[in-house]
Structure formats: C-alpha cells, structure tokens
Amino acid sequence: MKIFAERILLADGWKSKQTLTVENGIIKAITCGKEINAECVGTVIPGMVNCHSHAFQRAFAGFSEQGSEGQDSFWTWRNVMYQFLATLTPEDAKIIATQLYIEMLKSGYTRVAEFHYLHHDIDGSHYESLATMAEAIFAASEQSGIGLTLLPVLYQYSGFGQLSPNDGQKRFINHIDTFNTLVSDCYQLTQKFSNTNIGIAPHSLRAVDKASLNSAVEHVRSLDSKAPIHIHIAEQQKEVDDCLTHYHQRPVQWLLNNCKLDQHWCLIHATHINAQECSDIIVSKAIAGICPTTEANLGDGVFPTTEFLAEGGTVAIGSDSHISVNPVEELRWLEYAQRLVKQQRALLATSQQPSVGQYLWTHTAKYGAQSTNSNTGELAVGKQADLIVLDESKLAMFAAKDKHVLDSLIFATQNNVIKDVMVNGKWCILDGQHPFEQEANEAFTELLNRVS
C-alpha cells in the first residue's frame, strides 16, 4: 500500500508531498513526491495513544452527576461505580468496550492501554477460564480495530494495612498466584489477537502488598522484559495521607524506594506529589499518565505539568472514566489547567517547539507509545502505520499553516475534524465512519436501557 500525503507530521517535523509505503502494517519507506498508485490524502498526523482506560466505565458516564449537598467526592463516585458493574456479563463488557473503542478511533486514538480489573463473575466466583472477561476486551479491540495493550489489574485489599475487600470489589480480587496465572493466560491471548500486547497494573499501593507487587512485576517481566507496568499512585489527598499514616512515606516516595522503576512504568494520577517526588520520577524515567477530564470530573486536583516537563519529565494522556473520549479535549485541558493555576498562557511548549499544540500532540503520542511498549506514536520508517487524516474543509476554517495546524486542532476546533484513521496499516475510519458503528451503537443503547 502507498499513501501520498500533501503534508505530514513526521518524527522530524512537517513535510510536504510525501509518499508512505506500508507493508504488513509497518512504514517501509517515506519518499518525496507522489508515487504511482499511491492513495492521495491531505494532512496526516500520528495517531494518539490512550494510556489509561477503564472500558466498562463508559457505560455509566452521566449516571454519577447527581449532587449530594456538597458532600460528593471521588469516594462517593466510586460507590456508584461499584453498583453499576455488579450486573455486567462478559458479553456486556464486550459491547461496552466495542462502542468505546470505536469512539476512540473516531476521535484519533489508535491504541489504548486497558487498565482491566473486572475479572470475575457477578458473585465474585472465578469463571472457568480466568481470562473470560479479558478475552471480551481482546474481542472488542479486534472488532473495532484499535491497538490494545491489556493491563490485568492486581487488586487484593480495600485499603492500606491489607484491609479486607468490600462487597463492591469482589469481582476484582485475586491472590497473587491466581493473578500471575491470569497474566500468563492473557499473554497467550496476545498470540491469538493481532496488534495486542500485555503488561500489568498493580491497582494502587492501598490495594496491594509489597511482596505481591514484586512477584507480579517479576512474573510479567519473565514473559516480556519490557512489559508495561501501570499503577494508580497519588490521585487523592486522602490516599497520600493514608499512605503516610501506614508507611510513613508518601506514595510516590514509597514506590521509588521499594521498586525498580524504568521507562516502561507509567504512574497514573501522580497528582499530589511534592518537588522531590517530581524530580525523582524524572530520574527513574517513569512516565506520568495524566487524565485531565476525569481528574477534573472527580475533583482530583492538578498535576504540576509545567514544572515536570520543564525538568525533563515525560507524560502521556488517558481518558480513564470516559467522561470524555477525545484526545483534543484531554490536551486542551492539560494546558488550560496550568493556565488557570499559573495565570499565564501557552505554558506547555519549548523554545525548540513554540507551538503548544504540536508539542503536546507529538510528546504525548510518543510517550504514550512508550508507556504501552508499542511501535507507535511517531510516523517514521520502521514504525507501525498508525495515522490520522484531518478533514481539509474543516481545517480551512482555522489557522492552517503547518506551525498552526495542531494549535487550531486543540484550541480552536469545536467539532471533530478527523476524517480517516489507519491502525497497523488498515483503514478503521473512512469519511468519519466505522463499518460496525451502527451495530455497536444499537447494542450499546440496548444495554444502557437494560441497566439504567
């Protein structure tokens, strides 16, 4: 396959009139000018990686916005979530994930890291196959076409001090030996489903113990030495306070002192960190996974993105609870939160790349790919052909020179300007449509009517 782009954002910057040769999902060559039989497109940018997703939560977006006289918080939201997931079957999980992943593709995500903790049957008993729920997620990724990094979640306790799980958590809980077996089973599924890989996700320091955490890391790294490891780490101030009470250390501080982090670790919601933790994360080369719309929706707080990036830190973005499924909105609010805190403008850029939009898109795509150990995130020879074609007629309504394209995309557009999406060398979205979109919408609507 050959694709001719009038202009394209390559790993080394904008280029005009380039032909990409794609074989077996990989960009084999990039040449100047239009080659014979090349398919013509307009403006091309790399696909975005979603570093943090809980697929089932897409189905209760909007169900948890009822106020409670100023007493609502992350913790009350969590109770609503527990009630919702209590009835979901494997087929329900597939329906929700398929709908979600199609929405992701249409908005520009080409790969997702699925932080998957809905493991067991409704009563908490194990399915005959430990990976039954996981296989539903794999099947959804296959039907939608999105790339998948599955992160089975290790969840053992309800709080620091190895507190017994509550009833709402019964579908999540695994002993470490069972969990490692589940990870092995999921690893086998990656041989069956293309464009997939696995890592693990110790849920949080409050939900796992040190010995099990180390065992899980050792096991998954025996399967894949670069397997991604993601963890919720400091989302809420209460979590930090409880960790200080139990471990006499802050969560990030404890993690850095007790685990060997590397560039394939991703610290999700490292929201409440101090200056020393900020510097130490950077030294460890771990990536900060930021989910601006969910963190705003849950009232989590604001990650110190300006300082973190200025010191050489790396970040990726995720849609988490899917109150929004739109990388443009995530990046817009990543910058806007800093503007509100600092009372300044255009903060997340560099002297080398003064365009905030271009810096944020290229940085988070690249490090999102690193957080998933996937050969994506940039358009270059040898990289997977995960790319987005923008709608020229819609772009024309905004500043559209190369240096302004991604600023316009992120800060000026209100409607989706993504026309076509390719994943692993295959078109998943053409003219803004997915071939299974109507079927997925109907199944999802029926599910919502049943569970609401």
Here the CATH number for the domain that contains residue 23 is: 2.30.40.10
Q: Do 417 and 296 share a domain, yes or no?
A: no
- Helix residue ranges, H only, 320-391: 327-342, 356-371
In a domain, 346, yes or no: yes
Asked if residue 242 has pLDDT above 90, the reply is yes
pLDDT digits (tens, 9 = 90+) for 181-237: 999 999 999 999 999 999 999 999 999 999 999 999 999 999 999 999 999 999 999
Alpha-carbon torsion, ordered 139, 371, 48, 41, to 10 deg? -90
pLDDT digits (tens, 9 = 90+) for 306-319: 999 999 999 999 99
Q: Do 225 and 334 share a domain, yes or no?
A: yes
**Average pLDDT, integer, range 371-375:** 98
pLDDT at 451: 81
Q: Do 41 and 75 share a domain, yes or no?
A: no
pLDDT band at 334 (very low <50, low <70, confident <90, very high): very high
Active site residues: 269, 320
In a domain, 437, yes or no: no
In a domain, 318, yes or no: yes
pLDDT band at 450 (very low <50, low <70, confident <90, very high): confident
Q: Do 187 and 210 share a domain, yes or no?
A: yes
Q: Do 270 and 171 share a domain, yes or no?
A: yes
Q: Do 22 and 53 share a domain, yes or no?
A: no
**CA-angle at 124, arms to 187 and 62, nearest 5°:** 85
In a domain, 23, yes or no: yes
Domain boundary (341, 371, 401) is at: 371
**Average pLDDT, integer, range 327-347:** 97
pLDDT at 2: 97
Q: Do 350 and 389 share a domain, yes or no?
A: no
In a domain, 89, yes or no: yes
In a domain, 446, yes or no: no
Q: Do 16 and 79 share a domain, yes or no?
A: no
In the block, tokens 């150990």 appear at: 373
pLDDT digits (tens, 9 = 90+) for 392-435: 999 999 998 999 999 999 999 989 999 999 999 999 999 999 99
Q: How far is 443 from 28, CA to CA, in rounded Å?
A: 39
Q: Do 281 and 353 share a domain, yes or no?
A: yes
Q: Is 334 exposed, middle or buried (0-12, 13-18, 19+ CB in 10 A)?
A: buried
Eight-state DSSP code of residue 50: E
Task: Dig out the tokens for 280 from the structure.
Answer: 């130490």
Q: Is 175 exposed, middle or buried (0-12, 13-18, 19+ CB in 10 A)?
A: exposed
**Which domain does 190 fall in, by range?**
48-371
Mean model confidence pLDDT for the chain: 95
pLDDT at 59: 84
Q: Do 218 and 304 share a domain, yes or no?
A: yes
DSSP 150-191: EEEEE---SSTTTPPPPGGGTTT---HHHHHHHHHHHHHHHH
Q: Do 15 and 89 share a domain, yes or no?
A: no
pLDDT band at 63 (very low <50, low <70, confident <90, very high): low
**Average pLDDT, integer, range 31-43:** 96
Alpha carbon separation from 254 to 150, 226, 244, 308 (Å, rounded): 26, 22, 9, 19
pLDDT digits (tens, 9 = 90+) for 144-184: 999 999 999 999 999 999 999 988 899 999 999 999 999 99
pLDDT band at 72 (very low <50, low <70, confident <90, very high): low
In a domain, 392, yes or no: yes
In a domain, 139, yes or no: yes
Q: How many domains, the chain?
A: 2
Q: How far is 369 from 373, CA to CA, in rounded Å?
A: 6
Residue 313 belongs to a domain with what CATH number? Answer: 3.20.20.140
Q: Do 39 and 55 share a domain, yes or no?
A: no
Q: Contact, 221 vs 204, CB < 8 A?
A: no
